[in-house]
Amino acid sequence: MKRLDWTAMDSGNRARALDRPGGGEQDGLEAAVRRIFNQVWADGDGALRALTRRFDNVEVADFAVSDAEFAEAEAGLDPVLRAAMIEAIGRLKAWHSAGMGQGFEVQTAPGVACGRLLRPIARVGLYVPAGTAPLPSTALMLGVPAALAGCPQVVLCTPPRADGRADPAVLVAAKLCGMGQVYKLGGAQAIAAMALGTDSVPRCDKLFGPGNRYVTAAKQYAAMMAGGPAIDMPAGPSEVLVIADAGAPPAHVAADLLSQAEHGPDSQVILATDSLALLDAVELEVRRQLAELPRRDIAGKALQHARLFQVANLDEAFALSNDYAPEHLILALREPRAWLDKVQSAGSVFLGDYAPEGLGDYCSGTNHVLPTHGAARAWSGVSVASFQKAISYQEVSQAGLAAIGPCAVVMARAEGLEAHAQSVLRRLEGVA
């Protein structure tokens, strides 16, 4: 892990210190993704089988998960895990339901009623990673808001295991959310399949879910296609930034950093603190805890991208954080709520010593599908609104037209659009 004195650095060094891993590989990523899309476009399911053979080293004859596979997954799953998923679903429903938007109508002038309708997106495609570890929690995080939004068709893709089957916990999670259309398909080829459609996989209107750099690049490529699908957000390799004061327990801070580092070698973890003693203690704790982790090799590689920043004060730490715009932000502070107004850009915030990021990943109720790589400056995490369309409407009476029509005529003519003006004037002619 690299230790840096943030206060002593100039703006250029600060920007370089906050660089994400893999930033220089974008051109190669885009070219690889383009080739995959072209293959799927040209050869459909045949290309998907070839790409699965190449990248997952497994033969898959039928991508769709059968009823028998769902039943087998249900029968073999640890009932304790199933109960935990049901418990998590309850809290996810509570949180997402509380934040759901509503349609409305308002009279903007006498005789002018303007409103908004909310409608579910017809066909949504969900991606659930299973690279170094399957993520049934992601199936819950995507499945619950999709169900609450009322999406008529929900498609889920998840990579096959070495035996050609999908992870049983992912299948059970999908079923618990009411999803039965699951495909054993991973990586950029899964995104291409849901974006383009094949004989096996339906074409989707919007794509959701986190993934590695290839999955993220594939989603962005799909969104740029003419007539292509929308995407939820750029959601790639995981990251966390911890702002801690001198009172933060070093063991907790180290555990938070490692919890993200173990996701993958391209994950990034950052600590910003005004306490030199805490920096020393956390560094020792990370080394000690790392040695005990089953995924220490993966976490160790991620720690090569880690940054431990010493800041002059907490205001400086929050400025650093808002510039970085982390996926996860942990406030390991004595009065965390007092600092919440300082947060301007982050995917999800965890307040205090007893709110580990792991709760948000699984069962507190908030969603863990969050913007990464600085996208939190403008993007938000997944919610029910992500699965809906907002459609505006207006109803205008004769009196309403008389009241606001002249305004429209003036503005249309200022823009040189006489046909727009005439569409109003021809109606005004018949209004007393």
Instruction: Check whether 131 has a pLDDT greater than 80.
Output: no
Task: Clarify whether residues 209 and 143 are in a common domain.
Answer: yes
Task: Clarify whether residues 192 and 89 are in a common domain.
Answer: yes
Confidence at residue 25, expressed as pLDDT on a 0 to 100 scale:
63
26 is an annotated ligand-binding site residue: no
Task: Clarify whether residues 149 and 189 are in a common domain.
Answer: yes
Cβ atoms of 371 and 380 within 8 Å: the answer is yes
Among the listed residues 190, 239, 252, 244, the one whose alpha carbon sits nearest the alpha carbon of residue 218: 190
What the block records as the tokens of 202 is 């339906």
The arithmetic mean of pLDDT across residues 385-413, rounded, is: 97
Does residue 203 form part of some domain?
Answer: yes
Is residue 338 very low, low, confident or very high in pLDDT (cuts 50, 70, 90)? very high
Specify the 3-state DSSP secondary structure of 323: helix
Count of CB atoms situated within 10 Å of the CB of 183 = 25
Is residue 157 very low, low, confident or very high in pLDDT (cuts 50, 70, 90)? very high
Is 368 in the active site? Answer: no
Strands 112-120 and 388-396: antiparallel
Task: Clarify whether residues 90 and 204 are in a common domain.
Answer: yes
64 secondary structure, DSSP code: B
Is 327 in the active site? Answer: yes
Instruction: Check whether 130 has a pLDDT greater than 90.
Output: no
Task: Clarify whether residues 127 and 30 are in a common domain.
Answer: yes
Is residue 235 very low, low, confident or very high in pLDDT (cuts 50, 70, 90)? confident
Does residue 388 form part of some domain?
Answer: no
Cβ atoms of 167 and 131 within 8 Å: the answer is no
Instruction: Check whether 325 has a pLDDT greater than 80.
Output: yes
Strands 268-273 and 307-310: parallel
Is residue 24 very low, low, confident or very high in pLDDT (cuts 50, 70, 90)? low
Task: Clarify whether residues 135 and 257 are in a common domain.
Answer: no
Task: Clarify whether residues 223 and 350 are in a common domain.
Answer: no
Task: Clarify whether residues 188 and 60 are in a common domain.
Answer: yes
Residue of 305, 328, 368, 373 marked catalytic: 328
The counts of H helices and E strands in the chain are 15, 14
Instruction: Check whether 95 has a pLDDT greater than 90.
Output: yes
Is residue 402 very low, low, confident or very high in pLDDT (cuts 50, 70, 90)? very high
212 is an annotated ligand-binding site residue: yes
User: Where residue 125 sits, what CATH number does that domain have?
Assistant: 3.40.50.1980
The arithmetic mean of pLDDT across residues 250-262, rounded, is: 97
Task: Clarify whether residues 258 and 216 are in a common domain.
Answer: no
Cβ atoms of 222 and 30 within 8 Å: the answer is no
Task: Clarify whether residues 322 and 224 are in a common domain.
Answer: no
Residue of 239, 262, 285, 327 marked catalytic: 327
Confidence at residue 22, expressed as pLDDT on a 0 to 100 scale:
72
Tell me how far apart the alpha carbons of residues 51 and 41 are, in angstroms, rounded to a whole number.
13
Task: Clarify whether residues 281 and 326 are in a common domain.
Answer: yes
Confidence at residue 234, expressed as pLDDT on a 0 to 100 scale:
84
Domain span at residue 406? 397-428
The side-by-side arrangement of strands in the sheet containing 112-120 is 104-109, 112-120, 388-396
What the block records as the tokens of 85 is 């998923």
- Report the DSSP beta bridge partners of residue 5: 310
- Tell me what percent of the residues of the chain surpass a pLDDT of 90: 94
In a 13 Å sphere around the CA of 26, the CA atoms on its Cβ side amount to 8
Q: What tens digit of pLDDT does each residue of 37-58 get?
A: 999 999 999 999 999 999 999 9
The arithmetic mean of pLDDT across residues 398-409, rounded, is: 97
361 is an annotated ligand-binding site residue: yes
Is residue 432 very low, low, confident or very high in pLDDT (cuts 50, 70, 90)? low
263 is an annotated ligand-binding site residue: yes
Tell me how far apart the alpha carbons of residues 131 and 160 are, in angstroms, rounded to a whole number.
10
The arithmetic mean of pLDDT across residues 382-397, rounded, is: 98
Provide the residue type at 289 as one letter.
Q
420 is an annotated ligand-binding site residue: yes
Instruction: Check whether 211 has a pLDDT greater than 90.
Output: no
Q: What tens digit of pLDDT does each residue of 166-208 get?
A: 999 999 999 999 999 999 999 999 999 999 999 999 999 999 9
Does residue 114 form part of some domain?
Answer: no
The arithmetic mean of pLDDT across residues 242-254, rounded, is: 98
Q: What tens digit of pLDDT does each residue of 352-369 get?
A: 999 999 999 999 999 999
Task: Clarify whether residues 278 and 203 are in a common domain.
Answer: no
Tell me how far apart the alpha carbons of residues 172 and 190 are, in angstroms, rounded to a whole number.
20
Rounded to 5 degrees, what angle do the CA atoms 19, 28, 207 make?
A: 80
The rounded mean pLDDT for the chain is: 96
Does residue 302 form part of some domain?
Answer: yes
Cβ atoms of 178 and 153 within 8 Å: the answer is no
Tell me how far apart the alpha carbons of residues 110 and 104 are, in angstroms, rounded to a whole number.
17
Q: Model pTM?
A: 0.94
Does residue 281 form part of some domain?
Answer: yes
Does residue 373 form part of some domain?
Answer: no
- Report the DSSP beta bridge partners of residue 184: 158
127 is an annotated ligand-binding site residue: yes
Beta-carbon contacts of residue 101 (< 8 Å; ≥ 6 apart): 118, 384, 385, 388, 390
304 is an annotated ligand-binding site residue: no
Rounded to 5 degrees, what angle do the CA atoms 157, 135, 332 make?
A: 135
Total structural domains in the chain?
3
Q: What tens digit of pLDDT does each residue of 59-68 get?
A: 999 999 999 9
Confidence at residue 357, expressed as pLDDT on a 0 to 100 scale:
95
Does residue 111 form part of some domain?
Answer: no
